[in-house]
């Protein structure tokens, strides 16, 4: 019987299994032992392994497989070290963080932090309430997302749920809600600051020197307004964001980019898992409530799930005085 005939006697799944294990760094001897234990003869196993390792496709794949194993080790190291923190599920609250420390420790380190003395300096804090917005800007027609509860992918399909309404009517709808609801919400994609005279609200935002580029606030900020119960599903962004909580509270569940299991089944930048419904272990979830007057730094790539615990007004800012466009970071889309 010729060598080609003997090759064909080995089931295709064993070819695939042997190739995968060799690329994972398993020795030829160990792979051969497993093949023979499954009924493949020693001669067949030897010829099979020889054919695999001589294959041009295998030789081309080997350096990529080696790099993947190295990345797996790095990911595992980061996961192990993160679990050693005194409060692995918390996010530090800091005040007095200089622009240099903010950039060197939290931005460069890709670490979230809650800043307790940033929003409290804004004229917006204590001024922005639903009643104030309705009184000062009630006639402004704004886009909002509605009918969210009829669509399980409401956040991905925000455009088709967009409706225009006077801000006064939207605030009245929020105030009329007697229970928590996720059905209507003013979100970043509505871009009300850029498209309406609500952009004047940014005059109430005073940022520490060196934190953000104040002259670019109008094109790089987003206003969020909605009732208690609004939910933004678990996702990541391709820029760093400073999220100021002006009114009400929001609960954040955050997961580091090195928890790579979340990429499985993800669509675009949205995970197919829900921290409120699914068992997330062994993924490490940081779980915090952002209080009024606090600002959360969300580093690029960090997964986050957000639920409003109260009627809420928030401002997201990504106009940092350094490079902040990482649109190439889309690992969940890699095939």
Query: Mind listing the pLDDT tens digit for each residue in 2-24?
Result: 444 444 477 889 999 999 999 99
Phi, psi (5° rounding) for residue 257? -60, -25
Is 325 a domain residue? Answer: yes
| Number of domains within the chain | 2
* 254 strand-pairing partners: 286, 304
Are 255 and 127 members of one domain? yes
Are 108 and 196 members of one domain? yes
Residue 59 has a CB neighbour count (10 Å cut-off) of 10
The pLDDT tens digits for 93-152 are 999 999 999 999 999 999 999 999 999 999 999 999 999 999 999 999 999 999 999 999
Are 64 and 210 members of one domain? no
> Is residue 49 within 8 Å of 28, Cβ to Cβ?
yes
Are 152 and 194 members of one domain? yes
Is 162 a domain residue? Answer: yes
What integer pLDDT is reported at residue 134 of this predicted model? Answer: 97
Percent of the chain, pLDDT > 70?
98
Are 67 and 90 members of one domain? no
Residue 316 belongs to domain spanning: 84-331
DSSP-assigned letter for residue 309: S
Which tokens sit at 89? 């599920």
Is 1 a domain residue? Answer: no
> Is residue 312 within 8 Å of 249, Cβ to Cβ?
yes
Which tokens sit at 276? 């409120």
Is 4 a domain residue? Answer: no
Is 155 a domain residue? Answer: yes
Are 118 and 59 members of one domain? no
The pLDDT tens digits for 42-58 are 999 999 999 999 999 99
Residue ranges for the chain with pLDDT beneath 70: 1-8
Are 241 and 261 members of one domain? yes
How far CA 80 is from CA of 66, 69, 91, 190, 259, in Å, comes to: 21, 17, 17, 40, 11
Q: Which of 55, 75, 95 is the last residue of a domain?
A: 75
What integer pLDDT is reported at residue 10 of this predicted model? Answer: 79
CATH code (residue 102): 2.60.120.650
> Is residue 187 within 8 Å of 193, Cβ to Cβ?
no
- Helix, strand or coil, per DSSP, at residue 270: strand
Q: Which of 48, 75, 102 is the last residue of a domain?
A: 75
Are 60 and 98 members of one domain? no
Packing angle of the helix pair 28-37, 42-54 (nearest 10 deg): 140
What integer pLDDT is reported at residue 215 of this predicted model? Answer: 81
Say how many residues make up the chain.
335
What integer pLDDT is reported at residue 2 of this predicted model? Answer: 46
- Helix, strand or coil, per DSSP, at residue 206: coil
Q: CB-side exposure of 327: number of CA atoms within 13 Å? A: 1
Are 268 and 304 members of one domain? yes
Are 98 and 245 members of one domain? yes
What integer pLDDT is reported at residue 5 of this predicted model? Answer: 46
Are 19 and 115 members of one domain? no
Report d(CA 16, CA 31) in Å as an integer. Answer: 12
What integer pLDDT is reported at residue 1 of this predicted model? Answer: 40
Q: Which of 75, 102, 118 is the last residue of a domain?
A: 75
Are 173 and 275 members of one domain? yes
Is 183 a domain residue? Answer: yes
Is 222 a domain residue? Answer: yes
- Helix, strand or coil, per DSSP, at residue 216: helix
Which tokens sit at 200? 């004047």
> What is the pTM (predicted TM-score) of this model?
0.90
Is 5 a domain residue? Answer: no
């Amino acid at each position: 019987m010729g060598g080609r005939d003997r090759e064909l006697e080995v089931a295709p799944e064993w070819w695939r299994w042997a190739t995968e294990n060799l690329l994972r760094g398993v020795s030829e001897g160990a792979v051969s032992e497993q093949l023979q234990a499954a009924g493949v003869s020693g001669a067949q196993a030897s010829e099979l392994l020889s054919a695999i390792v001589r294959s041009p496709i295998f030789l081309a794949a080997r350096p990529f497989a080696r790099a993947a194993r190295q990345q797996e080790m790095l990911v595992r190291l980061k996961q192990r070290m993160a679990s050693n923190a005194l409060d692995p599920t918390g996010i530090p609250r800091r005040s007095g963080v200089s622009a240099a420390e903010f950039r060197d420790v939290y931005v460069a380190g890709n670490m979230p932090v809650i800043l307790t003395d940033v929003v409290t300096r804004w004229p917006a804090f204590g001024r922005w309430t639903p009643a104030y917005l309705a009184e000062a800007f009630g006639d402004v027609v704004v886009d909002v997302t509605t009918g969210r509860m009829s669509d399980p992918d409401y956040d991905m399909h925000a455009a088709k749920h967009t409706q225009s309404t006077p801000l006064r009517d939207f605030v009245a709808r929020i105030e009329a809600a007697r229970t928590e609801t996720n059905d209507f919400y003013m979100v970043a994609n509505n871009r009300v600051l850029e498209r309406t005279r609500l952009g004047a609200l940014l005059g109430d935002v005073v940022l520490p020197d060196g934190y953000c580029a104040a002259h670019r606030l109008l094109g790089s900020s987003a206003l969020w307004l909605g009732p208690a119960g609004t939910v933004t599903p678990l996702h990541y962004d391709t820029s760093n964001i400073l999220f100021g909580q002006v009114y009400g509270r929001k609960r954040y569940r955050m997961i580091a980019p090195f928890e790579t299991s979340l990429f499985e089944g993800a669509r675009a930048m949205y995970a197919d898992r829900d921290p409120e419904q699914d068992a997330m272990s062994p993924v490490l979830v940081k779980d915090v409530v952002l209080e009024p007057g606090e600002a959360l730094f969300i580093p690029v790539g960090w997964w986050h799930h957000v639920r409003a615990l109260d009627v809420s007004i928030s401002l997201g800012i990504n106009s940092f005085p350094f490079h902040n466009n990482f649109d190439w970071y889309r690992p969940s889309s890699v095939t």
